[in-house]
Amino acid sequence: MNAKKNTVLIKCIIIFMIAMPLVWGILYPILEPLSPVWRDTMKYTITAILSVLFMKLLWKKKLFSLKSSKFLHSLFTFGLLGLIGAIGAFIFSYEPLVAPLTFESILGCIALNVAIAVSEEFLFRGVILNALLTTYDRKENKSGLWKAVILANVIFGLRHLLNLIQMPEAVIGTIAQVIFTAMAGTYLCAIYLRTNNLWVCIVIHFLEDFASSFWTIDHWNAANTLDVSIGTAVGMIAMQIPYVIFAVLMINDKKWDRKMK
């Protein structure tokens, strides 16, 4: 591996291994007086802002754009599977509410999942994926493109190990989350590569997270400290298989290869 590749990988590792845990560790006691939902919302909002700052600090060139051209076309063409998945997650994650929904709880659910989607897409698809793509020429080398996608999603999946800091009891659920988020990240990478539109990834990410967390928003803190069974964990991972298959088909589309060249 040449020096340029080493430099990019070191920057990615710095962001993942040092910056995020350090920032979250500083923020946690400061935000502790807030409710769990709003505490996490602020944490992810600050992470999104810092992601852009990291990009400007560590990379001289602009890695990604926030332009939203052909947004609806891209959303319904390449993001349709994600929209269907969000509907399925909303239905199958249903559980009786512990307390009646309030305007504040719904607003908190929306704000939290917007913050998560924006921060993670900025950091992992916006900064890290694009940084790796500058190392591997995606127009000339398909294997290099896949190396960038796989490595970006390994980092994305491993990021979720940080959840053990807040919920050390949820070992099985966290391990499952590491695996299925890496798989889902492949789909989000494919959407971004096909559309060059980060907002499509943000909307799909938001809808998936919002749908799967909606029924637990009234007891967010308690729900996040519970572990899941092995069967549930396997089911969570298996549900991501269609996303991986669709991602492979999108990335390996020969018609798209010709357009890129």
Q: With contact defined as beta carbons under 8 Å apart, do 189 and 153 qualify?
A: yes
pLDDT at 2: 58
pLDDT at 62: 64
Contacts of 132 (CB under 8 A, 6+ apart): 8, 9, 12, 147, 148, 151, 152
pLDDT at 191: 93
Q: How confident is the chain (261 residues) per 10-residue block, as mean pLDDT? A: 61 70 81 84 85 71 69 85 88 78 86 92 88 72 85 91 79 90 94 90 93 77 63 86 92 62 43
Contacts of 80 (CB under 8 A, 6+ apart): none
pLDDT at 260: 42
| DSSP state, residue 215 | G
Q: With contact defined as beta carbons under 8 Å apart, do 129 and 150 qualify?
A: no
Q: With contact defined as beta carbons under 8 Å apart, do 101 and 218 qualify?
A: yes
Q: Report how far apart, in Å, the C-alpha atoms of 8 and of each of 2, 60, 128, 154 are.
A: 10, 12, 9, 15
Closest CA to 38 of 95, 117, 115, 101: 115
- Output the six-digit token pair for 20: 């995020």
Q: With contact defined as beta carbons under 8 Å apart, do 219 and 162 qualify?
A: no
Number of residues that make up the chain: 261
pLDDT at 261: 43
- Output the six-digit token pair for 254: 């020969």
pLDDT at 243: 92
pLDDT at 141: 64
CA distance linking residue 128 with residue 65, whole number of Å: 14
Contacts of 19 (CB under 8 A, 6+ apart): 50, 54
DSSP conformation letters of 17-43: IIIHHHHHHHHHHHHTTS-HHHHHHHH
pLDDT at 173: 85
Around Cβ 73, how many Cβ atoms within 10 Å?
Answer: 12
Q: What are phi and psi of 136, to 5 degrees?
A: -105, 120
Contacts of 14 (CB under 8 A, 6+ apart): 58
pLDDT at 205: 94
